[in-house]
Every structure is written in structure tokens, then in C-alpha cells.
């Protein structure tokens, strides 16, 4: 179905909306066997449309589903309905716990991507047949607001043959760049009304709290902050609120609850060198408190990921501070945020975008953190500081890009350091029980200062 390239006039608005308004079951009739279908991403996964598609499971074969971070309430109806693996398969650009389960069944695969490339990739490389996009309800001008998920939405819209909006009345109306879709740009609209997914705030473990305490002195008055999801950034926000620090700005991939807490504590002024006065983000995911804060709030500015995660944009902001978590670090300073060996855990995301961008920033700091160990299911302890990455592991951030590394045992600065200096710094971040073995490994690998005798 072809879509209009012009905007709908006010006189024609009501009739066009009524013509395109259908039920979810009616809308998904456009999906054919062999099609590529995008279900939406992050907190904007279209639950009613996906459930309707699941009800067609016996009519369809070899349908490829695209999404990002799918492990949210109300999703996975399609793959739960497919008991044979012949009807639906999933390609995900950021895998979740449920994705990993489906992967073991041979129905889900990861799509490597640098997040800032998302819109370009969808416009040029995916050839989508159908796209489901969640928005808010239509306004008096015929526009639908993308709400909490801007990110790659416009690239998906531009690429798909058929676009179906799931207009959720619970979606906050968010201000921003490229934040609207006009009725003329879509083929069908489905009315929806269900709560947005919420991510509970987890209390930090003792080692996570200690990591946040180490990071705190690296943050200066007037910094612009990017914080990821999880207990460490949330606790860091709490610690910031207990200090005299302030005059912060926000330019972040993901907007989370800790930013709301800092804003309400008077810590955020938006006094930055770019997009002054705006809390810039590309998607939001958190609790209802966050979504209520976003609703019709002109201080918040949602933008497409090719702007928000652009390294040059990030680098143009003075005193940019980026905080991201990872899974493993090796003695070379390589960072793995995606897999444990060949077992894929999450995705590349925007870590490298912000690691590079923050280093380019005048006075900027890029911080990557992880606890030094983890406890396995059998109760044994395993070091997350490794001699080298396990076979099959993914290097999410190359050693040359890393600036600061932090565990509960301290901070290591990597820039300008030789391989043996880096190894020495990283060994000091490891749990004491593993340091002797790491020293021996470094000597064997020829990266310890005594290794000249071995080369």
C-alpha cells in the first residue's frame, strides 16, 4: 500500500483517520508468509498487534520478527504460540533473558549494530514489509507522538512497505526532534490502552554501592551526564543528591528514574554547551514516575538515535561524563558487555558511541564499571577480570577506546598507558583472591613488566 507524502488537511483529517482505524486482528491480515515485521522496540513494543499476529500462527510460515529488548510484560505471544519453529523467528538488536531462551530453541538471533547507526541501517539494509510502531493518540493536527521511544522509529517508518500504528492512550506526550508521525504517513491505526512497561528499581549490592562511591569523585560541577540502567547508576544518582554538586545537564541514550530524582533535587539546570536547557535522550524506560515526568514536559527533548548517539554531537558537549556497565574486562583493557563466551547476553548498544564521544569532549570522562566477581548458581565465585577474553566472547569496546575502569576495588585510568602499565592497573581492580593468578597470566602473555625476560 502506498502512503501519502503530503500532510492531511484539517478538512480531510477525520475521514482519513476513520478510514485507517481498524482492530488489531484486522490490521495484521496484511502480514504474509515470508514477511519481515518490526514489532517496535524498548518500551514501545506493540503488544496488541503482536498478540493478534500470534493468533494467526497456523496461517503463517517463516515470518521474521525484528525488535529490541523484548523481555517486557505482555510480549512474546508470537514465539510462545509457535511450538514448531516454522512460523516465527526473531532478529534482535539487543537481546534479553527471554531472547536467550528462544535462541536456545533455534528461533532467535542477534543483529550486531552500533546504536547510532540504527536509522541508517533500517533505511538501507532491512527491507521491512510491515512495521508496528507504538505512539500516543492522534492530536487535532493529525499527528501521533512517538512518546518514550524515538530511537530508530523514523528509519523503520521510512523503510517499511506498510506501517501500522498502535496508538496507546497511556503513552506520554513527549517533546523532541522528529517526534511526530502524521496520519498521511501510515496505513492503519489501532487504538490501544494499556500501561507502559515499568522497570523496577533494584537496590545495589554492597560491591555495586562501592563502585558508585568510587565514581562519584570523578563527577564535577557542571558535568553533562549519561547514565545507563541498573543499580549502579541509580545509586550514583542518590549519592549525587547527597552532595553539594550541581549545575548538571543531561545527554543520554536512555532516560531513567535517577535523572528525575536529580532534577527534583535541584541538581539539573541544563546549562550546557549544546541543546542548552534540554534533557536530551533517545528512549526512556523506567517507572510511572518517569513517564509522568515526561508527559508534556518541554525541558525533556527526545531525539533520533543518529543525533543523540552521534559521537561528534556527544564530543561537542563540554564535561560529558558517560557511565556504563559491562560483563567482563581482560588484562589488555578490552571490555565485553555482550556475551559470556559464545552465550550472547545483551547487545552492543550505544556504549562505544558514548565512550568515544565522552573522550572527545572537552573535560569529558568515559567510565566503564563492573563488580570484580560474580557468584555462580553452585555458589562458587568467578572473576570478571580475566587474563584474556574467553573464546567466543565479544569485544564491545576495544582497549584503545577505554578511559576509566572501575570495580569495588578502585579506579584505573587507561589512556596513555603501556600494556604492562594497563595490566598492573587492571590487576589492582581484581578481587584479591585472583590477583596472583592474573600476575602469572600477564607474565606468560608477555604484558607484565618482568616479561622482557620471556620475550
The conformation of residue 361, written as its DSSP 8-state character, comes to: S
CB atoms within 10 A of CB 91: 15
CA pair distance 214, 201, nearest whole angstrom? 21
Count Cα atoms within 13 angstroms, Cβ side, for 80.
Answer: 10
Contacts of 363 (CB under 8 A, 6+ apart): 220, 318, 319, 320
Between the alpha carbon of residue 179 and those of residues 26, 44, 131, 317, 357, the distances in Å are 27, 13, 17, 22, 24
Q: Reply yes or no on whether 208 is catalytic.
A: no
The catalytic residue among 117, 152, 208, 253 is: 253
β-bridge partners, 369: 325, 406
In this structure, what C-alpha cell is assigned to residue 144?
A: 501521533
Provide the Cα torsion 155, 173, 254, 285; round to 10°. -110
DSSP letter string, 149-191: B-BTHHHHHHH-SEEEEEEETTS----BSS-EEEGGG-SEEEE
Nearest partner of 203 among 239, 234, 243, 241, judged by Cα: 234
What is the phi-psi region of residue 207: left when phi exceeds 0, alpha when psi lies from -120 to 50, beta otherwise? alpha
Annotated catalytic residues are 253
Amino acid at each position: 500500500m502506498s502512503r501519502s507524502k503530503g500532510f492531511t488537511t484539517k478538512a480531510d483529517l477525520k475521514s482519513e483517520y476513520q478510514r485507517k482505524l481498524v482492530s488489531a486482528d484486522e490490521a495484521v491480515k496484511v502480514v504474509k508468509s515470508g514477511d519481515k515485521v518490526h514489532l517496535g522496540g524498548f518500551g514501545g513494543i506493540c503488544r496488541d498487534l503482536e498478540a493478534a499476529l500470534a493468533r494467526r500462527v497456523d496461517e503463517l510460515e517463516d515470518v521474521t520478527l525484528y525488535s529490541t529488548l523484548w523481555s517486557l510484560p505482555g510480549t512474546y505471544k508470537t514465539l510462545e504460540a509457535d511450538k514448531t519453529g516454522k512460523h516465527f523467528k526473531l532478529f534482535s538488536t539487543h537481546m534479553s533473558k527471554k531472547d536467550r531462551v528462544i535462541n536456545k530453541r533455534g528461533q532467535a538471533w542477534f543483529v550486531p549494530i552500533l546504536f547510532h547507526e540504527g536509522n541508517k541501517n533500517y533505511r538501507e539494509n532491512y527491507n521491512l514489509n510491515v512495521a508496528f510502531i507504538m505512539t500516543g493518540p492522534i492530536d487535532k493536527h493529525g499527528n501521533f507522538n512517538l512518546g518514550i521511544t524515538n530511537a530508530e522509529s523514523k528509519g523503520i517508518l521510512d523503510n517499511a512497505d506498510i506501517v501500522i500504528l498502535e496508538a496507546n492512550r497511556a503513552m506520554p506526550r513527549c517533546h523532541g526532534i522528529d517526534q511526530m508521525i502524521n496520519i498521511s504517513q501510515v496505513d492503519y491505526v489501532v487504538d490501544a490502552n494499556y500501561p507502559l512497561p515499568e522497570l523496577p528499581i533494584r537496590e545495589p549490592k554492597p560491591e555495586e554501592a562501592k563502585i558508585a562511591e568510587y565514581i562519584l569523585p570523578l563527577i564535577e560541577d557542571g558535568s553533562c551526564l549519561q547514565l545507563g540502567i541498573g543499580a549502579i547508576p541509580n545509586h550514583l544518582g542518590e549519592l549525587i543528591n547527597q552532595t553539594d554538586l550541581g549545575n548538571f545537564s543531561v545527554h543520554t541514550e536512555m532516560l531513567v528514574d535517577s535523572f528525575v530524582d536529580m532534577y527534583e533535587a535541584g541538581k539539573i539546570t541544563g546549562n550546557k554547551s549544546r541543546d542548552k536547557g534540554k534533557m536530551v535522550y533517545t528512549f526512556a524506560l523506567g517507572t510511572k514516575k518517569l513517564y509522568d515526568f515526561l508527559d508534556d514536559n518541554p525541558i525533556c527533548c527526545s531525539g533520533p538515535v543518529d543525533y543523540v548517539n552521534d559521537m561528534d554531537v556527544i564530543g561537542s558537549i563540554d564535561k560529558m561524563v558517560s557511565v556504563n556497565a559491562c560483563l567482563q574486562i581482560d588484562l589488555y583493557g578490552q571490555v565485553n558487555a555482550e556475551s559470556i563466551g559464545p552465550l550472547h547476553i545483551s547487545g552492543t548498544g550505544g556504549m562505544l558511541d558514548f565512550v568515544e564521544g565522552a573522550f572527545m569532549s572537552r573535560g569529558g570522562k568515559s567510565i566503564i564499571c563492573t563488580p570484580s566477581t560474580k557468584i555462580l548458581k553452585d555458589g562458587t565465585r568467578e572473576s570478571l577480570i580475566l587474563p584474556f577474553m574467553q573464546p567466543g566472547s565479544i569485544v564491545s569496546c576495544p582497549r584503545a577506546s577505554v578511559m576509566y575502569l572501575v570495580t569495588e576495588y578502585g579506579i584505573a585510568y587507561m589512556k596513555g598507558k603501556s600494556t604492562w602499565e594497563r595490566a598492573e592497573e587492571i590487576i589492582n581492580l581484581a578481587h584479591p583472591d585472583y590477583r596472583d593468578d592474573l600476575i602469572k597470566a600477564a607474565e606468560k602473555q608477555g604484558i607484565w613488566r618482568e616479561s622482557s625476560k620471556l620475550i
